[in-house]
Structures are given as C-alpha cells and as structure tokens.
Amino acid sequence: MTTTLAPAAAQPVQLHRRPAASVAQQGPWSVDAIQALLDKPLMDLLFEAQTVHRQHWPAGDIELATLLSVKTGGCPENCGYCPQAAEFDTGVKAEKLMEVEEVVRAAQAAKDAGATRFCMGAAWRAPKDRDIEKVSALIGAVKGLGLQTCATLGMLESHQALALKDAGLDYYNHNLDTAPEYYTDVVSTRAYQDRLDTLQHVRSAGISVCCGGIVGMGEAPVHRAGLIAQLANLQPYPESVPINSLVRVPGTPLADSEPIEPFDFVRMIAVARITMPNARVRLSAGRQQMGEAVQALCFMAGANSIFYGDKLLVTGNPDVDADVQLLAKLGLNGHRTTTTDAEPSHPG
C-alpha cells in the first residue's frame, strides 16, 4: 500500500533587514525632536550619524583649520567662559593687533603643517571701521598664500561684513554659545538677538557662516538640544559648525563647571551631523582633555574638521604631531587641498 504524504504547510519567510536611518526631517527641527535623537541608544545614534555622513561627505576626509589670536585680551564682554574678558583675572594681558608680517609667518607655518583654513580671532566686542580696514589687510595677505580665510571679530554691522567680503573673507565665525534660555546665565553684555543679527549681516554679505556653541557650561540637556535646534533652523544652517567642550580657565566664572560626560559630547557631534548634513562639523575646543578614543568616536559620529595647532586663541590644543599620529591610526586623511568652491553646496 502506497502512502501519499501531504505537502508540508508553507512557512512564512521572515526577512531580516538592517534598520534604516531616520527619515530626513521636514521643516524646522523642534527641541523635542532633537532631544529624542540625543536620547537614542549610543550605538544606534552613531550608526545613523555615520550613515548620514557617508551620504554627504567622502569617507575619511578631515579638514585641518588653524586658529590664531591676532588681537588678544582686553575684551569688554563678560562671557563666563572666556579668559580674554577684561573683568576676569586670568593672567591674559591685552595686546595690540598683530602686524601683517607676523600673521603671514603664522599662516605659512600652518599651511606647511597641512592646514587648509586659517582663522583669525580678535578680542573685540565689535570692531570699529578702522579695525576692519586693518583686518582686511590680514585677510588679503593670508588669502595670497592659497589658504581659506576665516575671522571672528565680534559683532558686525552690515557695511563691515561687506568690507570683509570685498577683502576676500571666506568664513565668519560667530557662535551662538548655547540655547537662548540659558544664554543670560553665560553672558549679560550682549543679547542673543545681537548674535543672530551679526549672522544675518554676514550671510547677506555673501560670506559663509561658521557658527556653533559650547557645552559643559552647567547647562541642562534641554539647553544642548536647544542649541542644536537654533543652529539647524538657521536659514540656511551654517556651512561650518564648531562644537566646543568648555576649557575651564581659572579666574573665569565658569571655571568650576561640571565637565560634560564624554559620551554626551559625542552625542552632540552626532546630532549636529544628522541635523546639518552638509555642514563641516568641527571638533573644536576641549580635545586636549578628551583622549584619542573619545576623539575617534567623534569622527565616527560625523566630525570632519578639527582645529590644528598647539593653541586655540589662548588655551591649549593637541600638538600637530599628536594629531598627525591620531589621524594616521584611524586611517583618516587630514591633508587635502581645499578651496572655497570645493566645499559642498548647501541645499537651497
């Protein structure tokens, strides 16, 4: 007798798909949406940030920028983090604006070491027109070396921004520092709107915007989310976004602030990358205290620019050899010739 076996019941096939990155945000970023990103499991957040990064930037490309204080100390502002404020006893002495020859020597040394962008900082609340004329000469001289130029001089009027554009300035740095709700805990001599107005003058003049903030100043997590929201909702968002970890300088009001937890700093880098995909996200102040492993996580999270050189204005920074060795260990390329036209264009 022959027995016929019934066909086995079909079993459903289960597909195991790699989780997709979050869909790009449409419209303004809310603080709640950014907080939700910051609250993600770290590995998921890093995966999403690296996915966004690979979609918009070449793998392993790290911009090297050098920052020089061309006019140090004596600033009338009372920014609680800043050792250059005249009212704080930090040992920083007021100095005059550097001469063109001194700046050119520093810029050439930075270029020889591999930097492609040269940033000049001056401790002014707001430069006078005669100051703009002097800085314009510095810009022209540095530009003549084939470097991108950036300046951070304080608040600008619209005609001053236009003069800097005419001098050849590529980027202007003016940080928002923190969320508007926490701003008055950090500085009282300048309003948040003053910062936004300067950014608008810079943008209207046709200069690219470098704008970020500082964490580890005693702010709450919601203020970190609020800072990213302010930056990401600028129209357009900045081409360059420095994220700074507070360097606590004795004599400043924020010298005793609790340092930000390293993984929370990495989260800030990741969320900046996700919300501003075409920006250069710069791993800025505080690198000297991070160690190589945390810096590596920041690069994983989408940081693709660093300040390069042994000093940031008046505070320390990893030396050039240490950075060269770190980038080599990670297989990152920090020596790439960059021109303004080569920067990815911002959508819209």
Q: Which of 117, 190, 280, 282 is catalytic?
A: 282
Q: Does residue 211 have an active-site annotation?
A: no
How far apart are alpha carbons 210 and 220 in whole angstroms?
24
Q: Are strands 208-210 and 213-215 parallel, antiparallel or unpaired?
A: unpaired
Q: Which of 117, 150, 224, 298 is catalytic?
A: 150
Q: Which of 117, 119, 273, 280 is catalytic?
A: 119
Q: Does residue 298 have an active-site annotation?
A: no
How far apart are alpha carbons 307 and 158 in whole angstroms?
28
Q: Which of 79, 190, 224, 267 is catalytic?
A: 79
Q: Does residue 75 have an active-site annotation?
A: yes
Identify the residue whose tokens are 């990064």: 53
Q: Are strands 171-173 and 148-152 parallel, antiparallel or unpaired?
A: parallel
Contact 229, 38 (CB under 8 A): no
Quick one: which of 267, 269, 306 has its CA closest to 288?
Answer: 306
Q: Does residue 210 have an active-site annotation?
A: yes
Q: Which of 17, 18, 54, 82 is catalytic?
A: 82
Contact 186, 122 (CB under 8 A): no
Q: Does residue 150 have an active-site annotation?
A: yes
Contact 266, 38 (CB under 8 A): no
Quick one: tokens of 9?
A: 């019941």
Q: Which of 54, 105, 203, 210 is catalytic?
A: 210
End-to-end CA gap in the chain:
78
Q: Which of 75, 195, 267, 298 is catalytic?
A: 75
Q: Would you name the residues annotated as active-site residues?
A: 75, 79, 82, 119, 150, 210, 282
